[in-house]
Amino acid sequence: MLENLIAFSTGEFLSGAINIGKVLAGLGFVIFVHELGHFLVAKACGVKCEKFYVGFDVPIKIGPLKLPASIVKFQWGDTEYGIGIIPLGGYVKMLGQDDNPANAEAESARIRQDGSAGEGELDPKSYPAKTVPQRMAIISAGVIMNLIFGVIMAAVAYKIGTPIQPASVGRVSYGSNAWLAGWQPGYDLVGFSESDVASHFYRFTWDLRYAVIGGGMDNTTGIPFRVVDRDGNPSINKVQPIQSGEDSKQVTIGIIAASNATIVAAGPAEQLKIGDQIIAVDGVSIERDKHGPNPDLLGWHVTELIAADPTKTLTLTVKRADKQLQVSLPPVALKQPHVRFGMGPVVGVISGSVGAEAGFLKGDVIQFVNGEPVGDPVTLPQRMVNLTGKRVVFKVLRDGDGQTKNTQEIIVESLPVSHFLTPAAPYSTGCLQGLGVAYGCDNIVVTSELDGVQPGDRLDSVQLVKTEANQEEVDTRKLQKQPLGNYLSWFYVHQTGQANLPGFNLQLNFSRDHSDQQIAVIPPWQDSTEDFSWERGIMFAPLERVHQANGWGDAFHLGIRRTGQDMSRVGQTIGWIAGGKASVADLGGPVMIIKVAKDEAAVDITRLLLFLTMLSANLAIINFLPIPILDGGHFVFLTIELIRRKPVSERIQGSLSMIFLVALLGFMLFIVSNDVFRLWIQ
């Protein structure tokens, strides 16, 4: 046992160290390429390059400890090459040019002290002695090299074949805008504007998320998603992002990523093991994804087959270690908290659905089904399964003239086949999926077996509380009350109660009308004899597609497109910050860059290459902003010199450079501190 633990820990450490090594090599390469651009063009223009460094060679002294300025260095010809101790960039030191404003005057004097050139004349090998177009070429070469190698790195990734998590719908939150648009698990998002090139290889984490964030920032009337349904039929749906939480700046459209058929959590299903791949349910073969080489089996298809009848024992055909096995999957009881709440109003009806045609309206409150009280909102979908194909009469309470409510009768001649999946997000609602009707919960107690809780009490909030056995230090924010409302729904809380929460209990906090009394109860979640879990506690691994180019021509075409998209996003982000729609506090700095790059490297080397492509685009755009001490600032000064036919005075350049150097150092300190704080919070 101990030997296995040591071996596991050693393996994890080595794997992490290798990935960190890949990241540092990749980041160093991006910096090296940028500086190589400056270096090569400078040499081609006859400029003497005195230093070529990745990292900054600044001596560091901490008390009695003195660190060397460089990790390694050597002299070759006129140039000293090295790796500096501070890994925050790199530089090429050209004769007559120094980015440190404090050294500008001394550097200017130095290039006029060559006796062969004569006192006061510029050394012909110095940077200032070159023509304005030559200096413009030198300054812009770093950015150009970053873009060239960004394309090359992306092309290599696509030629090898890079695994991605596609922008494919795995689950839709009932009542969300995506659900109202009619989206279902298995739909593919192949574009995020009407002009986008249709592709089944957009990434969920990068491309889709950025499109949703952009839609939220720009306050659009809806993002025109290009959608392909399960049968391959394309359409364009406008979906408006909404806040993902009451106090959150994040936005969402109400979907989670697709999964494959490989089990990562088996719940109470004892015969299943993590890593099993489900290939059939009751003899029905699981569909495969249609895109990329060696496509995955589709997790949504497994889930729908399992959820078709939660009361039935199923026979699963699973692949385990190259063997095919038959596994029995019995029903799993739904845990109930011994308290039931009333029905809330209908919160959404899908346009053109059976429910819409029958006459359901937003705001209706379902009271009776075939003359019987509607009962528990959580279990209503399961009870409706028994009425599939039958005539169903609903009685709903509907607002009349704004002051009175009327009872309306809604008849569905043949109830469609329906199933209910667990809530995908906190704001998920209840749903009669076959009808296309989503409804809420009023959070008012109807029946209770909990001590101190009685009908009419209102559930106000929930919170985690530590068990007596839990002696660990816990961030107090984790234990704060979470109010129920439009964001946090009882349906999601009920689903949370199905899971084991080691070291914690789920507490319900109630209030009572006409009383200041607050009732806090930890309910005993016990197995029901009548209600069952739709998905039986099984969870699946993320769906993976391999994006592989058809030859080098296609690879470079994809590389150019990826680099262009990354550049566009950098520009868009800068625009949001400049316009006050986003904050610099949302930006990631060196620490976050290394963390994300390490995560990408852990998946595949090609994922790291695509991340470095994005980083190259960032470096190119940001470095060419018109800010003194950056390449863009130097280019602005050169443009003014080209127009005026004389350089901007050294005093003005030096003053501006010093101001922006201090500002940039302060900004970097803020970004790094923000990175560390975010990682600590996580």
Alpha-carbon torsion angle 508, 513, 516, 517, nearest 10: -40
Query: Mind listing the pLDDT tens digit for each residue in 365-379?
Result: 999 999 999 999 999
Q: CA-to-CA distance for 505 and 59, rounded, in angstroms?
A: 53
The more confident residue out of 248 and 520 is 520
pLDDT confidence bin for 123, thresholds 50/70/90: confident
Residue of 410 and 596 predicted with greater confidence: 410
Other CB atoms within 10 A of residue 243 CB: 15
| CA–CA gap between residue 293 and residue 331 (Å, rounded) | 36
Question: How do residues 187-230 score in pLDDT, each as one tens digit?
Answer: 999 999 888 889 999 999 889 998 888 887 766 678 999 999 99
Instruction: With cut-offs at 50, 70 and 90, classify the pLDDT of residue 428.
Output: confident
The single-letter DSSP state of residue 479 is G
Give pLDDT, residue 654: 76
Task: Read off the pLDDT of residues 381-424 as tens digits, 9 standing for 90 and up.
Answer: 989 988 999 999 999 999 877 677 889 999 999 999 887 787 77
Residue of 141 and 650 predicted with greater confidence: 141
State how far the Cα of 413 lies from the Cα of 52, in Å rounded to an integer.
79
Same fold, 259-332 and 338-524: yes
Calculate the dihedral angle through the C-alpha atoms of 8, 9, 14, 15, rounding to the nearest 10 degrees. 60
**Count of beta carbons in the 10 Å neighbourhood of residue 646:** 8
Rounded distance, CA 88 to CA 31, Å? 9
Give the mean pLDDT of 272-276: 93
Rounded Cα distance, 91 and 513, in Å: 69
33-83: per-residue pLDDT in tens? 999 999 999 999 999 999 999 988 888 777 777 888 888 999 999 899 999
H, E, C per residue of 595-652? HHHHHHHHHCHHHHHHHHHHHHHHHHHHHCCCCCCCHHHHHHHHHHHHHHCCCCCHHH
Tell me which amino acid residue 522 is: I
Q: How many CA atoms lie within 13 A of 628 on its CB side?
A: 19
Report yes or no: 374 and 402 within 8 Å, Cβ to Cβ: no
Contact 410, 383 (CB under 8 A): no
Q: What local confidence, expressed as pLDDT, does residue 427 receive?
A: 85
User: Quick one: tokens of 452?
Assistant: 């101190």
Lowest-confidence pick of 150-154, 328-332, 469-473, 516-520: 469-473
Residue 410 in contact with residue 359, Cβ under 8 Å? yes
Flag the least confident range among 24-28, 341-345, 388-392. Answer: 24-28
Q: What is the DSSP string of 524-578?
A: --EEEEEEE-SSTT-EEEEP-EEE--SSHHHHHHHHHHHHHHHHHHHHHHHHHHH
Specify whether the CB–CB gap between 26 and 597 falls below 8 A. Answer: yes
Domain spanning 338-524, CATH class: mainly beta
Residue 120: what pLDDT?
61
User: Helix-strand-coil percent breakdown of the chain, rounded to 5?
Assistant: 35, 30, 35
Output the pLDDT for position 5: 37
What's the pLDDT score for residue 681?
54
Going from N- to C-terminal start, the domains of the chain cover 2-47+130-160+596-681, 259-332, 338-524
Please compute, for residue 397, the number of CA atoms within 13 A of its CA located in the half-sphere on the CB side. 12
Q: Other CB atoms closer than 10 Å to residue 596's CB: what's the count? A: 16
d(CA 254, CA 175): 9
Query: What is residue 669's predicted lDDT score, i.e. its pLDDT?
Result: 81
Strand partners, 169: 257
Q: Please give the model's pTM, rounded to 2 decimal places.
A: 0.83
Counting beta carbons within 10 angstroms of the beta carbon of residue 512, is it exposed (0 to 12), middle (13 to 18) or buried (19 or more)?
Answer: middle
Report residue 416: phi and psi, to 5°: -65, 160
User: What is the model's pLDDT at position 247?
Assistant: 59
pLDDT digits (tens, 9 = 90+) for 532-564: 998 898 999 999 999 999 999 999 999 999 999
Domain covering 259-332, topology = Pdz3 Domain (2.30.42)
Q: What is the mean pLDDT of the chain?
A: 87
Amino acid at residue number 115: G
| Residue 318 pLDDT greater than 50, yes or no | yes
- Per-residue confidence band for 617, with pLDDT thresholds at 50, 70 and 90: very high
Q: What is the mean pLDDT of residues 423-438?
A: 89
pLDDT score at 4: 41
pLDDT at 350: 95
> Strand 49-56 relative to strand 79-84: parallel, antiparallel, unpaired?
parallel
**pLDDT, mean of residues 493-520:** 89
Is pLDDT of 151 > 90? yes
pLDDT at 2 over 60: no
